[in-house]
Amino acid sequence: MATEFTPSDSAAIRRRVEALCPWFHNLHLPDGSQTAPDHFLGDFPAYKWEELATVLPTDLSDAEVLDVGCNAGYYSLELARRGARVTALDMNRHYLAQANWAAELFGLGDRIQFVRGQVYDLAHDERQFDLVLFLGVFYHLRYPLLGLDIVARKSRDLLAFQTLTMPGEPTDQVQEDLPIDERAALTAPGWPRMAFIEHRLANDPTNWWAADPAAVEAMLRSTGLRVIERPGTELYLCRIDPDAPRLWDAAELLAATGRSPDRGQAPL
C-alpha cells in the first residue's frame, strides 16, 4: 500500500529539497513532487533509466552493484528497488547529501552504502560486483583510460557505460597494424578518435573528452569488455569477455595506481 503524505509531510519534503538545491537528478519523490522539474535536459535521468532498465535483470535480489558517480542516487535507488545491494560512489559531498536523504525518504537506506571518493580510489578496493554502472563520468576524467581500466576490473559480469560522444559511426573494421610512415590512415573515416577539450564544453571545465562511437567501443574492447547491447544513445551494456586480449600493461596499471607486486598486492 502506498504511503499517504499529509500537507505538512509534503511541506517538509519541499523545504528539504530547497535546502539541498541545486539538483542535477530529477528525483520523483513519494509525495508526487520532483527535485528538478525544470531540468534543462528534461526528465533526467528518468529517460536514460528507461533505456537501460530494459536490458538489466529485473530481479537483482542479493546482487552486489557498484554505481560510480552516483550523483543524487537516481540509479542507485532504482537498482535497490530491484533487490540489489548497492555501493554508490561520488566525490561531491553535496550530491551525497542529496542521495542519502532520498534513500532514507524512500526507505532504501539499508540497501545502499554511499561512499565519498574518486574513480581512481577503486584501484585500492579489492571487491568486485555483479553489475557496475559507469554512467556520465568518463568524459569528466583527466585520465579516462586509467579510470575505465580500474572500473572494468570491478565487474564480475556486467558493466553499463555511458559517455558524451562526438559524431561518428561505430566500427571494428580498422587495420590492426600500420607502418609508421602511413599515419594518414589515422585520419580516415571510421578510425577511432577522441577529441580533447582544452577549455570548456557546455560551460563546464570538467568536460575533457568527446570520443566518437568507434573510439568508445574500441576502448571498451581494449579493457576486456564486450558490448552486448546498445539500448540508447551513448549507452552501452557490456559483459566481461574472458577471451579478450589483455591489451593493457598490468605492471603499468599497478604503477599508475600506486600499487605493486612488491607490496604484496595480487596482480590485476
pLDDT tens, residue by residue, 108-117: 999 999 999 9
- In this prediction the pTM is 0.90
Which carries the bigger pLDDT value, residue 140 or residue 8?
140
Q: What pLDDT was estimated at residue 259?
A: 79
- Compute the distance between CA of residue 72 and CA of residue 78 in angstroms, rounded to an integer: 12
- Compute the distance between CA of residue 6 and CA of residue 220 in angstroms, rounded to an integer: 49
Burial of 214-247, coded b for 16+ CB within 10 Å and e otherwise, reads bbbbbbbbbbbbebebebbebbbbbebeeeeeee
pLDDT at 152 over 80: yes
Q: Which residues contact 160 (CB under 8 A, 6 or more apart)?
A: 52, 56, 131, 132, 133, 134, 135, 235, 236, 237, 238
Cell (9 digits) for 122: 577503486
Cell (9 digits) for 177: 597494424
Q: What is the mean pLDDT of residues 171-196?
A: 86
DSSP run (H or E) holding 8: helix 7-19
Q: Over the stretch 17-73, which tens digit does the pLDDT of each residue have?
A: 999 999 999 999 999 999 999 999 999 999 999 999 999 999 999 899 999 999 999
- From 143, 119, 118, select the one nearest 194 (Cα to Cα): 143
- Compute the distance between CA of residue 92 and CA of residue 14 in angstroms, rounded to an integer: 22
71: which DSSP letter?
Answer: T
Give percent above pLDDT 70 in the chain: 91
pLDDT at 221 over 90: yes
